[in-house]
Amino acid sequence: MSQSRLCKPWEHSLSRRQLLGTAAGAAAGALGLGALGGLVQPAVAEEMKKKEKQVLFIWIDGGMSQLESWDPKPGTQFGGPFRAIPTSVPGIHVSELLPKSAKQMHHLAVVRSLCTQDNSHSAGVGRIQRGDPKNRGVTYPYFGSAVANLMGPCSSKLPPYVWIKPGSGGFIHQDAGFLGPKYGALAFGDGKPPENLLRHESVSAADDAARQRLRQAANDRYAKLRRPTANEANSYVYEMAQTLMRRADLFDSSQYDPRDVERYGTHELGRHMLQGLKMLEAGVRFVKVNSYGWDTHGDNFNGHLSLMTRFDQAFAAVVEDLADRGMLDNVLVIAMSEFGRTPRINGHVGRDHWPEAWSIAMAGAGLKKGLVEGATNDQGTFVATDEYDIGHVFHTWFRCLDIDAFDVEYDNGGQPLPIAHDDMKPITNVLA
């Protein structure tokens, strides 16, 4: 029989059918995990702190202005209206729109000398998140999928690549590129769990078990008629759903400490960042939190006044909390966009796309603390020191995760492929 051309399970939002599982449902019901609150068991957290590297990837979609954030040039032609303020590290200044993050500067490593290759969103988002390797005729994975593939889940067995995003959720298999759909992102739209995560109270555990046996039988029969990758991804999604059912607490924001909610911000990014922290605490390998709406071609300065304020609140809170919990030694924190914004201010008082000279903020695993690497010129127009492309940054991230990008390769069905741009190397100045 020919292989089906019907749509695949991972092309849809997670459905109720995929998420109902006997063992998981029974476990969740029996353990009553929904009422435990968001914190992971202390012993588990301690174990993770000891040996498991994780990533918090904060994606600012559209392009954060480097001049209104990490590389201010006050009092210059392109500097904009805002002042620079001192940080917790003497001699390092950031925009006044980052007052809370300035107090966390001693945890941060900021690179001000990024010079990347693409000034369009359509290509830039992918190129940056894939590390822009040399073209070898394949679609490279996003960083989250790469980590999911290279490192797998943490010992928690929770999904390795979780994306907390505005809007709708689902399984974003496209992120995985040639690695195959199972390494895609499990996306929680507005931080919400898949619908009907828990077994409905009207369904008894015994009935549910019977259903699952039937489902398993059907699944086995289905698998025999499909490509192995299709079935593998299908099973993978199901297993993730089962695991998640045991951690329904991760989605119950009513259990969060109100002081944390206030500190992170009740806005979208604040809520999602706090949930991202809970995911990390629970043992998710790679958590991506993102914000949309940063493409400020018009009214850039009023725009950044409110956007940065909310970013600052959530970012500073999560860095502070990871540090306080001792997790920053093992969690790599990255905050970035697909490019920066033009020094030139257009007639709509906006800034356009600028990959020529922009900044990235990082913290945590494997990085030095409290430093700025690289510099732009006095006007902030171009990089004045060595330029770093995203390939350098990918090498740096992999090194932070104890992966040597010069030794480790992907195996694309027998084709060895480098995991980062093979002509680039880590930014050693930021590595601890």
Partner 1 sequence: MATTEQLQARYAPSEVHQIPMDRQLHCVRFSPCGKYLIGGDFDAKLRRFAVDGEEPFTELPPVAGHHGGWLQPIEFTSEGGVMLTADSWGRISAWSYDEETPQLKWTKEAAHDGWVRMLSISPDGKHVASCGIDKTVRLWSTADGELKQEFSGHQHDVLSVRFHPRGEFLVSGDLYGVIKKWDAAGGECVGEFDASTLFLYDRLQDIGGVWAMAFDKEGKTLAAAGTKPDHGGTVQGVPTTLLFEFESGKLQHTLTMGAVKDCYVHDVLLHDDGFVVAVTSGTPGTGQLLLHKPGDEQPFFVSTKTANCHSLSLHPDGKRLAVVSTNKGSNGNGRRLNKDGEYEGNNSPIHIFQLPAAEQPAAG
Binding region for partner 1 (CB under 8 A): 62, 74-83, 96, 119-120, 166, 267-269, 291-299, 302-303, 305-307, 310-311, 342-350, 352-356, 379, 381-382
Contacts 24+ apart (CB under 8 A), 121-128: 121/62, 121/63, 121/295, 121/338, 121/353, 124/338, 124/339, 124/353, 124/355, 125/61, 125/338, 127/338, 127/390, 128/336, 128/337, 128/338, 128/339, 128/390
C-beta of 120 vs 204, nearer to partner 1: 120
C-beta of 29 vs 189, nearer to partner 1: 189
CB 246 within 8 A of CB 29: no
Q: What is the DSSP letter of 432?
A: -
**CA nearest neighbour of 66 among 274, 359, 299:** 359
**2 Cα distance to chain centroid:** 38
C-beta of 156 vs 342, nearer to partner 1: 342
C-beta of 82 vs 236, nearer to partner 1: 82
CB of 167 to partner 1, least distance (A): 10
CB of 291 to partner 1, least distance (A): 6
**How many angstroms separate the most distant Cα atoms in the chain?**
72
C-beta of 290 vs 396, nearer to partner 1: 290
CB of 81 to partner 1, least distance (A): 3
**CA nearest neighbour of 94 among 59, 113, 68:** 68
CB of 308 to partner 1, least distance (A): 9
The SS3 of residue 424 is coil
CB of 265 to partner 1, least distance (A): 9
Q: How far apart are the C-alpha atoms of 112 and 429, rounded to whole Å? A: 13
C-beta of 25 vs 63, nearer to partner 1: 63
